[in-house]
Structure 1
Amino acid sequence: MADWGPVLVATLLFVLLTPGLLFQIPGRNRVVEFGNTQTSGASILVHTVIYLGLITIFLIAIGVHIYAG
């Protein structure tokens, strides 16, 4: 059986935490901007840290597993 939990969690978090797609921390003019497609190096770094933190929580601490087959 294949464990699809890590694949789905990583893909979902990557799409949701892409800087500028849904939100951007820090924004150009404000702390949080929504729907802004302009990114900066600082926002990429912040979103990377948030992504690594959440993926660690979901995969290691909680242990999300989805089996197919």
Structure 2
Amino acid sequence: MNDWAAPIIGAALFAFLSPGLIIQLPGKHRPVEFMNMKTTVASILLHTVLFGLFLILFLVVLNVHLYV
């Protein structure tokens, strides 16, 4: 049996935390913008930090596993 939690969680976080796709922190004109499909360097850096923190939360702290 293989543990599929890491690739599934990583891919989902990568998709949902892409700057400008669903949410952008910080936005160009407001602190939070939704679905504007534009990005800034600050937004890229913040989303990178959030991606890492969520990945650590799910895989290390919560120790999530999905065996198929």
Any unmatched runs of 5+ in structure 2?
A: none
Deviation of the 1:56 alpha carbon? 0.2
Identity %: 44
1:49 maps onto 2:45 in alignment:
no
Any unmatched runs of 5+ in structure 1?
A: none
Q: How far apart, in 1, do the equivalents of 2:4 and 2:53 lie?
A: 20
Q: How far apart, in 2, do the equivalents of 1:64 and 1:51 lie?
A: 16
Q: Where does residue 64 of structure 2 map in the other structure?
A: 64
Deviation of the 1:27 alpha carbon? 0.4
1:2 maps onto 2:2 in alignment:
yes
Q: How far apart, in 2, do the equivalents of 1:20 and 1:60 lie?
A: 27
Structure 1 runs (4+) deviating above 4 angstroms are none
Structure with the higher fraction of residues in strand conformation: 1
Q: Where does residue 14 of structure 1 map in the other structure?
A: 14
RMSD over aligned Cα, in angstroms? 0.5
Deviation of the 1:21 alpha carbon? 0.1
Question: What is the TM-score with the length of structure 2 in the denominator?
Answer: 0.97
Deviation of the 1:37 alpha carbon? 0.8
Deviation of the 1:25 alpha carbon? 0.4
Deviation per CA, 1:6-26, whole angstroms, max 9, x where unpaired?
011101111110000001001
Which letter maps to 2:11? Answer: T
| Total equivalences in the alignment | 68
